[in-house]
Amino acid sequence: MTNEVVAEFRNFKKSFGTKVVHKGVSFELHKGECLGLLGGSGQGKSVILRSLIGLEKPDSGQVFVDGEDIVPMNEEQLIEVRKKVAYVFQNGALFDSMSVYENLAYPLRAHTKMTEDEIRDRVISQLAEFGLQGNELLSPADLSGGMQKRVGLARSIIMQPKVVLYDEPTAGLDPYNTIRIQEMILGLKERGVSGIFVTHDMPSAFAVCDRIALLLEGKIQAVGTREQLEAQPDSKLTRFVKGLEV
């Protein structure tokens, strides 16, 4: 991990109707780090992730990807941002009518000039890297929920993004699939891919995150490494992690 900044929120403010959700959210994501984003239900974590690919716009504030503010960008410019930043949808968001292979090949056919041979190599090696080889011809409906999530993650990163956004990737998974997802995230980190990991699953947060941030009452209240949390047993962040406070 380096201190190179790959994404940053600066004084992000957003309301829905009369409900003020974000009151000035600011934080940086460094190259190669996985940042845990914690906070109770409804605090605005998913909106933060969606804003990093331009699916939501703040009322004010800036969202930087690779040094560029994406808030004023149009859809065409956002397509380029979404090649760098991948969003892992909760259920995998696979196309039911396509095989596992076709699901992974689809973004490459749509967004690159790769040949079918190059696409095959990329898809096969991506599946193998995540221990999913041999499932190429199955349809998503033939896979367990845990496998669908793992294939969904494999598809999300097939374009080799710089940043991956994980919105509760281990929610509802059994221990086996939870550990597989953790391994996938750690593997991506080793390649220098950064991540923001939104979760209520503390063991997974500690397994994969370099730093953990707490979003509460519209602001990032604290950011810290595990060591910093342990050194501050009475801080808001530590108390949240331990389930002592909302």
Ligand X SMILES: Nc1ncnc2c1ncn2[C@@H]1O[C@H](COP(=O)(O)OP(=O)(O)OP(=O)(O)O)[C@@H](O)[C@H]1O
Task: Check residue 21 for interaction with ligand X (CB under 6 A).
Answer: yes
Considering the complex, what minimum distance in angstroms separates the CB of residue 154 from Mg ion? 22
Q: What is the x/- site pattern for ligand X, positions 149-178, by CB under 6 A?
A: ------------------------------
Considering the complex, what minimum distance in angstroms separates the CB of residue 22 from ligand X? 9
The whole-angstrom separation of Cα 153 and Cα 156 is: 5
241 binds, among ligand X, Mg ion, none (CB under 5 to 8 A by kind): none
Binding to ligand X, residues 42-71 (CB under 6 A): 42-47
DSSP H helical ranges for the chain: 45-51, 75-84, 100-111, 116-129, 145-156, 175-190, 202-208, 226-231, 236-241
39 binds, among Mg ion, ligand X, none (CB under 5 to 8 A by kind): ligand X
The whole-angstrom separation of Cα 124 and Cα 202 is: 32
Report whether 204 contacts 178 (CB < 8 A).
yes
Residue 109, classed as helix, strand or coil, is helix
Considering the complex, what minimum distance in angstroms separates the CB of residue 168 from Mg ion? 7
Q: Which of 23, 6, 5, 10 is nearest to 61 (CA)?
A: 10
Q: Which is nearer to ligand X, 99 or 221 (by Cβ)? A: 221
Which residues have C-beta within 8 Å of that of residue 155, sequence separation ≥ 6? 92, 94, 103, 104, 106, 107
Applying CB under 5 A, which of residues 5, 24, 28, 46 lies at the interface with Mg ion? 46
Q: Which is nearer to ligand X, 31 or 50 (by Cβ)? A: 50
Applying CB under 6 A, which of residues 1, 4, 16, 233 lies at the interface with ligand X? 16
The whole-angstrom separation of Cα 82 and Cα 16 is: 24
The DSSP bridge partners found for residue 224 are: 212
Q: Which is nearer to ligand X, 47 or 132 (by Cβ)? A: 47
Q: Exposure of 204 by Cβ count < 10 A (0-12 exposed, 13-18 middle, 19+ buried)?
A: buried
Q: Which is nearer to ligand X, 48 or 184 (by Cβ)? A: 48
Q: Which of 191, 211, 198 is nearest to 50 (CA)?
A: 198
Binding to ligand X, residues 75-104 (CB under 6 A): none
- Using the contact rule CB under 6 A, the part of the chain among 40-48, 118-126, 173-181, 218-226 near ligand X is 40-48
- Using the contact rule CB under 6 A, the part of the chain among 36-44, 115-123, 125-133, 228-236 near ligand X is 36-44
Q: Which is nearer to ligand X, 105 or 163 (by Cβ)? A: 163
Considering the complex, what minimum distance in angstroms separates the CB of residue 227 from ligand X? 26
Report whether 38 contacts 54 (CB < 8 A).
no
Binding site for ligand X (CB under 6 A): 16, 21, 39, 41-47
